[in-house]
Chain A
Amino acid sequence: MLLSFALRIQATDFFTYLRGSGYVYPAILSLHMVAIAFFGGMILMTDMRLLGLAFTRRPVADLMDQLRVPKRYGFLLAATCGLLMLGCKAEEYYYNAFFRAKVALLILVVVHALAFRGSVYNRAAEFDRDGVPGRAKLAAALSLLLWIGIACMGRGIGYIEPPFGIHAQLFGFLHL
Chain B
Amino acid sequence: MIEFNARAMLLIENPLNASPLSFPILECFHIVGFAFSVGTIALVDFRLLGWGMRRETPSQIAKDTFFWTLGGLILMVLSGLMLFSSDPDMYYLNYAFDLKMVFLVLAIVFNYTIHRKTAMSDAPTSGKLVACVSLGLWMCVIFGGIFIGFLNPTLDIHQI
Q: Which residue numbers of A lie inside 8 Å of B, CB to CB?
A: 23, 25-27, 29-30, 33-34, 36-42, 44-45, 48, 54-58, 62-63, 66-67, 70, 148, 151-152, 155-156, 159
> 0/1 per residue, B13-28, Cβ < 8 Å to A?
0000000000010011
B65 to chain A, nearest CB (A): 7
* Contact between chains at A41 and B42 (CB < 8 Å): yes
B151 to chain A, nearest CB (A): 9
Q: Which residue numbers of B lie inside 8 Å of A, CB to CB?
A: 24, 27-28, 31-32, 34-36, 38-43, 46, 51-56, 60, 64-65, 68, 135, 138-139, 142-143, 145-147, 149-150
* Contact between chains at B43 and A42 (CB < 8 Å): yes
* Contact between chains at B60 and A58 (CB < 8 Å): yes
How would you classify the secondary structure of chain B's contact residues: helix, strand, loop or mixed? helix
A86 to chain B, nearest CB (A): 17
* Contact between chains at B31 and A151 (CB < 8 Å): yes
* Contact between chains at B36 and A44 (CB < 8 Å): yes
A52 to chain B, nearest CB (A): 13
B109 to chain A, nearest CB (A): 18
Q: A156 to chain B: which residues have CB within 8 Å? A: 24
* Contact between chains at B55 and A26 (CB < 8 Å): no
User: Which residue of the partner chain B has the closest CB to A98?
Assistant: B24
* Contact between chains at A54 and B147 (CB < 8 Å): no
User: Which residue of the partner chain A has the closest CB to B38?
Assistant: A37
